[in-house]
Amino acid sequence: MAKIIHSMIRVLEEQRSVDFYKAALGLDIADRYPFDGFTLVYLRNPENDVELELTINHDRTEPYTFGDGYGHIAVTVPDLDAEHARMEAAGITVQPIKEFFREGALMARFFFIQDPDGYKIEVLQHHGRYV
């Protein structure tokens, strides 16, 4: 059986992205591998088996484009309101909290943030299948 181990995104500035993911999601550098022309940085925290891989192409000067295929990364938190307030206090731009209902029952409470390269991140309250 396959096991998901990481998701990769390309970022323009390594330190800016590492700082953002530390402040927003508590992710730390698990490994960092510099190569000729690019660097791979793997981020994680103790709550995760899956890592976020940042790829930094050394000669890249222009922001990346996402086309129409990229959606978002999603994480869950035990206290959505507290995380929303914490991120806002840390200077992270947070969207309003939204609620999503299905057949009259709450399916999800969530908000979105965006990293320095424009990648969207959905932050969901632990609830239902999002635990």
| pLDDT score of 70 | 85
> Are residues 55 and 90 located together in one domain of the fold?
no
How many domains would you assign to the chain?
Answer: 2
| pLDDT score of 26 | 96
| Rounded CA separation 58/46 (Å) | 29
Rounded to the nearest 10°, the torsion over CA 38, 47, 119, 57 is 0
Q: Each residue of 51-84: pLDDT tens digit?
A: 999 999 999 999 999 888 888 999 999 999 999 9
The answer to the question of residue 65 being in a domain is no
Q: Which of 18, 16, 13, 15 has its CA nearest to residue 29?
A: 18
Q: The domain containing residue 117 runs over which residues?
A: 71-131
| pLDDT score of 42 | 97
SS3 state of residue 68: coil
Instruction: Report residues of the chain scoring pLDDT below 50.
Output: none
| pLDDT score of 68 | 80
| pLDDT score of 97 | 98
The answer to the question of residue 66 being in a domain is no
Q: Which two tokens stand for residue 45?
A: 């925290």
| pLDDT score of 128 | 87
The answer to the question of residue 34 being in a domain is yes
Active site residues per annotation: 122
Contacts of 84 (CB under 8 A, 6+ apart): 94, 97, 111, 123
| pLDDT score of 66 | 86
| pLDDT score of 49 | 87
| pLDDT score of 56 | 97
| pLDDT score of 4 | 87
CATH of residue 41's domain is 3.10.180.10
